[in-house]
Chains A and B, each alone.
Chain A
Amino acid sequence: MDAVAALPIHEIPVRRIAVRPVTAEPAWVRRALIALALAFFGLFLLLPLAAVFVEALRKGWAVYLAALVEPDALAALKLTLLAAAIAVPLNLVFGVAAAWAIAKFSFRGKALLLTLIDLPFSISPVVAGLGLVLLFGGSGWFGAWLAAHEVKVLFAVPGIVLATVLVTFPFVARELVPLMQAQGREEEEAAVVLGASGWRTFWHVTLPNVKWGLLYGVILTNARAMGEFGAVSVVSGHIRGQTTTLPLHVEILYNEYQFSAAFAVASLLALLALVTLVVKHAIERRGDFAALRRGSLK
């Protein structure tokens, strides 16, 4: 400092002022990275999505609509809706119960319980389906009993529902547990101390706090339930019009080289995916949900 001060004013070394902040990259690097990222995005995400709709409409609207109103397609749609209508509420109730126990109380074995809840995320759907075959198949654990009572699980609707419930098992719990943990339990404790019953506390204190997280978990569960392929494929038996869900119907049509029809049915599922993403994005942009979720990540 002194050395500089001692210099005559015109001899103070002048440095060029940086035009960009020190925490930003040069413009060309920025542009190159954006271009590379968008190229990957276009190639791997946008193009497959576009392909579904273009291929679906390749032979015109008449063929497209005919593929959708065909009886086997409608039966598949009905079964898909049924499986989701059973799987979503079941896993919703489970998710709420699990989140209440895990987030509001401390007990031994909590980490193990959380790991086991995550299990369906990491098991191959085909292996999950195999597990159901080994339980309910002819030589399975419950096979003889089911045969004696003439109950069909495998290659029938109950098997498809069970497979759907199994693969969508963790979604609601996984969303709710961290949210309710982040929220703590002071508000509920206050309600209970002031005389509210457990149910009333849950409905009026807990639920309003986590409703967006709940909805978030439900739409993820629903998307997976309607789109599940591997596990359902193993237990379905592929009986056309009876045990085929929409994704299985797509497979059958595709393997019969009815490509336009296959893509027409697939476009229905793609639309479902897009609606899911829009709702998901809308929830994520809600300030209260975003703040809570950020809190839950800490």
Chain B
Amino acid sequence: MSAHTGVLPGFRLTLGYTILYLSLIVLLPVAAVFGKTLELGWGEFVDVVSNPRVLAAYRLSFGAALAAAAIDAVFGLLLAWVLVRYSFPGKRLVDALIDLPFALPTAVAGIALTALYAPNGWLGGWLAGLGLKVAFTPLGILVALVFIGIPFVVRTVQPVLEEFEPEFEEAAASLGACRWQVFRHVILPHVLPAVVTGFALAFARAVGEYGSVIFIAGNLPFVSEIVPLLIIGQLEQYDEAGATAIATVMLVASFALLLVINALQAWAARRGGKEQ
């Protein structure tokens, strides 16, 4: 590996340590998952991942994550907009608490949401009166995933909105655009890459989420059983091969998402000019 080392010392030491530590802590476990899958052989692998119960879990995990990320994209843009453009009482508190899902342990979020949405809970009882059951259904999973993903969108969109120059809006308005047209044709195209990036980050997180979901999900096979839970279930039955086959699909999806997110960030950087 060649480098323009210049006069600064420590290149070999720090890069060597980085690669060694990365390999030991992250790449080795990932390699173990792929290695175990290769031992399985193609036929057995397909058998496991095409099992109807596994397919139902994939559909649920990816579907709920997609829906949750979409909700987060809309409300994340709204929250970022309100935080950047308007002033209102309690704004600093709202801004600080947006990151709560990053800081709050997922198990705590899980039991708190369950307490709220269970049939005898604060909101659950009221929603039951409307004929809506949230906890222990796929809807509960959606609620947990929306909670987990919201800071990703807000924190990606917020800096882009902050740096947006009012000149563009003024120009559009002086050319006769109404406020909605300015938003639709000037502001939205500018923040769209950030919104899509936030959406992808929220989606990536939601697909693999475990702690906040299992308490509220009810975990019924074919109905509300997410993929990570299925993996743990296989492990508890000492079926490492089955667990690994199911996990490999998730791992490949993670890699793909990581590449998509990188490409999105590059797009956002180009579109935004100087912003991320």
Question: A-side interface residues toward B, CB under 8 Å?
Answer: 22-23, 25-26, 29-30, 33-34, 36-38, 40-41, 44-49, 51-52, 55, 94, 97-98, 100-102, 104-109, 111, 113, 115-128, 130-135, 137, 139-141, 162, 165-166, 169, 185, 188-189, 192-193, 197-198, 201-202, 220, 223, 226-230, 233-234, 246-248, 250-251, 254, 259, 262-263, 266, 269-270, 272-274, 276-278, 280-281, 294, 297-298
Contact = CB atoms under 8 A, between A and B. Distances in A.
Contacts of B247: 124, 126-127, 130
Given A45-B97, A107-B3, A270-B104, A26 B179 contact: yes
Contacts of A118: 258
Interface of B: 1-11, 13-15, 17-19, 21-22, 25-30, 32-33, 35-36, 75, 78-79, 81-83, 86, 88, 90, 94-109, 111-113, 115-116, 122-123, 143, 146-147, 150, 159, 166, 169-170, 173-174, 179, 182, 204-205, 207-211, 215, 227-229, 231-232, 235, 240, 243-244, 247, 250-251, 254-255, 257-259, 261-262, 274-276
Given A185-B6, A269-B105, A23 B166 contact: yes
A125 B22 contact: no
Contacts of A278: 96
Contacts of A40: 75, 78-79
A165 B174 CA distance: 55
A97 B94 contact: no
A141 to B, nearest CB: 6
A229 B254 CA distance: 19
A122 B243 CA distance: 19
B33 A127 contact: yes
B9 A198 contact: yes
A274 B116 CA distance: 20
Contacts of B146: 44
23 contacts: A34-B86, A34-B88, A37-B79, A44-B147, A48-B112, A49-B112, A52-B111, A94-B21, A109-B1, A113-B18, A115-B258, A115-B262, A122-B254, A124-B208, A126-B231, A131-B30, A134-B240, A192-B8, A193-B7, A220-B102, A246-B105, A273-B103, A298-B276
A118 B201 CA distance: 12
Among the interface residues A106, A132, A141, A297, which one has the most CB atoms of the partner chain B within 10 A?
A: A297
A165 B25 contact: yes
A122 B204 contact: yes
B29 A105 contact: no
A239 to B, nearest CB: 15
A79 to B, nearest CB: 14
Contacts of A29: 179
Contacts of B97: 41, 45-46, 49, 277
A272 to B, nearest CB: 8
Contacts of A36: 78
Nearest to B200: A122
A30 B98 CA distance: 20
Interface of A is mostly: helix
Contacts of B274: 298
B112 A277 contact: no
A166 B231 CA distance: 19
B210 A126 contact: yes
Contacts of B96: 277-278, 280-281
A103 to B, nearest CB: 10
A272 B104 CA distance: 8
A101 B4 CA distance: 11
A135 B1 contact: no
Contact of B75 (A37, A169, A274): A37
Contact of B208 (A105, A126, A251, A280): A126
Contact of B82 (A34, A111, A227, A273): A34
Given A48-B112, A105-B3, A127 B8 contact: no
Among the interface residues B29, B82, B94, B98, which one has the most CB atoms of the partner chain A within 10 A?
A: B29
A98 B25 CA distance: 14
B4 A234 contact: no
Contacts of B209: 124, 230
B112 A123 contact: no
Nearest to A170: B26
B50 to A, nearest CB: 19
A127 B251 contact: yes
Contacts of A266: 105, 107-108, 111-112
Contact of B211 (A109, A229, A298): A229
A162 B35 CA distance: 20
A130 to B, nearest CB: 5
A72 to B, nearest CB: 16
Contacts of B182: 23
